[in-house]
Amino acid sequence: MCGRFARYSLSRELERYFNTHPASFDIQPNYNVAPTQEIPVIIQHEDDRHIKKRHWGLVPFWAKDTSIGSRMINARVETITSKPAFRAAIKQRRCLIPANGFYEWQGKSGNKQPYYFHLPSGEPFAFAGLYEIWEDKEAHPRKPVLTSPARLSPWMPAIRLRISTTECR
């Protein structure tokens, strides 16, 4: 895959063109999609296609943090089944990444010229993509403890207060 691409087709066009369920979020045009940005992807679930939001950059399930994702934007066909980062995803977690065009740079370092490639028809197309499910193993989910009136006493034992009174005159 390229390092930058454009996707300006809106939800309805993507849903019709790729035969998906309606997206549950608004898809805004982006003419300069870069790694780590949130992008729409098309995922097959059972017999249906759905548009979901994902961050561009694969974070393998075994990664300690998400920083590796900005460097994992390309999988080479020659090594996709042997590299640990892609091995599981290529078997089970494939997706489509809708686009309208992509950029390739040519020239000498420091003086590169971007060239934009797109279909003559202007229709969207899709990059073959992979996705992974990553969970932060360091984070501990926080949840409130709920209690009922019957359990208030064990949680908060009765406190006996001594009340002294003085007479006011």
The catalytic site residues sit at 2, 104
Q: Is 129:95 a contact under the CB 8 Å cutoff?
A: yes
Tokens of 142: 């926080």
Strand, helix or coil for residue 18? helix
Cα–Cα distance measured from residue 18 to residue 7, given in angstroms and rounded to the nearest whole number: 14
Cβ-Cβ contacts under 8 Å for 67 (sequence gap 6 or more): none
Give the total residue count for the chain: 169
